[in-house]
Chains A and B, each alone.
Chain A
Amino acid sequence: MTAIEINGLTKSFGTLKAVEEMHLSIDHEIFGLLGPNGSGKTTTVRMLTTILRPTSGDASVCGHSVLTEPRRVRDRISYVPQDMAVDAKLTGRENVVFFAKLYGVRNPRDKADEALARMELGDRADDLARTYSGGMRRRLELAQALVHDPEVLFLDEPTIGLDVAGRKKIWEHIIDLKNNGMTVFVTTHYMDEADYACDRVGIIDHGVLVANDSPEALKARCCNDIIVIRAEGEYRGTDIEGVRLIGQNGDELRFEAGCAGEMGFALAGALAGAGMKVKSFAVRQPTLDDVFLSLVAEQEETAAFDYQRFRTMLRRRA
């Protein structure tokens, strides 16, 4: 049985199609859903966690349909939204015991202690959550989520607003959970983190899933190597085969090429021959950032900020 099976999942708000005809199958892995703001990441998670009802299509989680058996789905999953909501006036332990009781686990105190220890919060368990750092609050939320041994874990932007050490720790825990057999569905804005931690990533843009593969495969498929040359003088084009200009920023030129090592020298020579003064050149592998930018349509930063639409979006999420 596949942990998450998504079949033509669609959600519209009025005329806006937030998620369109999504098909996915996820099992015993960390799946990262990437996408720009408002692309439908959270809407997808909310449908899979039975908080939002799909307009059409269906999804099954642990073999239960989100449409017909939402209660059974909720029994097997945990969901940590991005807002970081822990009760600041309760202690860490009280926060977790509260969830354990709500999940109806048989020995809430023991399970809570276990989850707290797992998230390395055991020695701070009796302090008020108010005194916790951002990273600790997030781990407290993970402890709450783990208290009933879910099979699938949904995390919405788990590392948002955390410092570098905090992020690293969260990802270590997430990877550890996967290694112990859990399926993790995570959304994030941070490409490097997805590249590091996810077994597979999906890229969503305007509600449409435009890519779905392992980070390595995506990088290999989408882009060749990248050559960055800094040179003074006017660039008039080049006739070297297999090299393509993909961007120019001041005196920095970015090219895409098959075997960038050799091409780099040839290119630098050609530019120098054309009268430019080459100051440096570098070759780098494409990152998930390059993949993302090549797949996701240009962001509408030039369009005026639509306050009304922003409000509608916020309301939907609330």
Chain B
Amino acid sequence: MISTFHYLERDFRRWVRGRINVVSALVMPAAWLIFVGLALPIRFTDNYLDFITPGILVLTMLGASLQGGSLLMFDKVLGFLPKFLAMPAPRESILYGKILFITMRGLVQSTVILVLALILGAHLLNPLLLIQTYMVLFIFGILLSSVMTTVALTLEDHDSYAAFNSIVSMPLFFTSSALMPYDQMPGWLAAIAMLNPVSYAIDGIRELQAGVFPADTFLGLTAGAAIVLAVSVYVFRKATV
């Protein structure tokens, strides 16, 4: 569907003209990388930066996705959506364009964070593993941005979306395996972390670092993304007819 790319192009043009938005989304993950990755006195590994980098990459995607749902919300509130709906282009491409944009934007931001991590002293994966890392991030991005656009479609206004956002963002990150391995966590936290989809993505990238192909992660995330995307399309169709 070519119109998906037209919607994608529109969002990218608007984004790069936003200047502050481009930088602000990077501050949080960069701060984690520097102030926690470099400064925390850790004993379970001698290169904590290498350990925490996958977590921060996924955190970047998480932040991008959570922020992204509001885009569809704004199109709805500001009156763009009725215009788009009265056009002959397939309506679902509005949704696909949004999900794709949020994910791609997240990947661009992750790349900046990855470069920062390398400058700080993290070790580079070989190109093939790097591509696989990006694939994990991509599928994870599709999964989360589908969730968030669905949430944006069902909520009433931007305030409720922001509220929802703040409820899920911190808990999702802290109950994941981003900051420490399971064997270092208290038992109750480890139990939660194992169920957290954010840990899936992080563990997948760590397995790649260790030279294992994380087939189950790929499968699990892809299946999850497919299901959530289907729900999202269903909700979108219901909301726009």
Contacts and interface: CB of A to CB of B under 8 A. Distances in A.
Interface of A: 46, 49-51, 53, 71, 74-75, 77-85, 87, 89-90, 94, 98-99, 101-104, 128, 144, 154, 315, 318
Contacts of A82: 79
A112 to B, nearest CB: 13
Given A50-B86, A83-B79, 7 more contacts: A71-B88, A78-B86, A83-B82, A90-B14, A90-B17, A101-B6, A102-B7
A305 B30 CA distance: 50
A85 B14 contact: no
13 contacts: A50-B86, A51-B82, A78-B86, A83-B78, A85-B78, A87-B14, A89-B14, A89-B17, A90-B13, A94-B13, A101-B3, A102-B6, A104-B2
B86 A98 contact: no
Interface in B87-125: 87-89
A102 B87 contact: yes
Contacts, number: 68
B162 interface: no
Interface string B12-47: 011001100000000000000000000000000000
Contacts of A46: 82
A98 B9 contact: yes
What DSSP secondary structure best describes chain A's contact surface? Answer: mixed
A68 B78 CA distance: 29
A102 B3 contact: yes
Given A89-B14, A89-B17, A77 B3 contact: no
Given A74-B87, A83-B79, A102-B3, A53 B156 contact: no
Contact of A98 (B2, B6, B79, B156): B6
Contacts of A89: 13-14, 17-18
Indicate the size class of the contact surface on chain B. 20 to 34
A52 to B, nearest CB: 8
Contact of A79 (B14, B18, B77, B86): B86
B83 A80 contact: yes
B10 A104 contact: no
Contacts of A83: 78-79, 82
Contact of A51 (B7, B10, B85, B89): B85
B234 interface: no
A315 B156 contact: yes
A82 B156 CA distance: 20
Contacts of B17: 89-90, 128
B83 to A, nearest CB: 6
Contacts of B7: 102
Contacts of A81: 79, 82-83
A213 B14 CA distance: 45
Contacts of B76: 318
A49 B84 CA distance: 11
A46 B81 CA distance: 12
Given A87-B14, A315-B156, A51 B6 contact: no
A90 B78 contact: no
A297 to B, nearest CB: 29
A318 B78 CA distance: 9
B83 A79 contact: yes
A236 B83 CA distance: 57
B241 interface: yes
A206 to B, nearest CB: 23
B49 to A, nearest CB: 36
Contacts of A90: 10, 13-14, 17
Contact of B86 (A49, A53, A104, A128): A49
A103 B86 contact: no
B216 to A, nearest CB: 40
A81 B82 CA distance: 7
A164 to B, nearest CB: 24
A178 B116 CA distance: 59
Contacts of B3: 101-102, 104
* Central interface residue in B7, B17, B76, B156, by most chain A CB within 10 Å: B17
A84 B7 CA distance: 19
B83 A87 contact: no
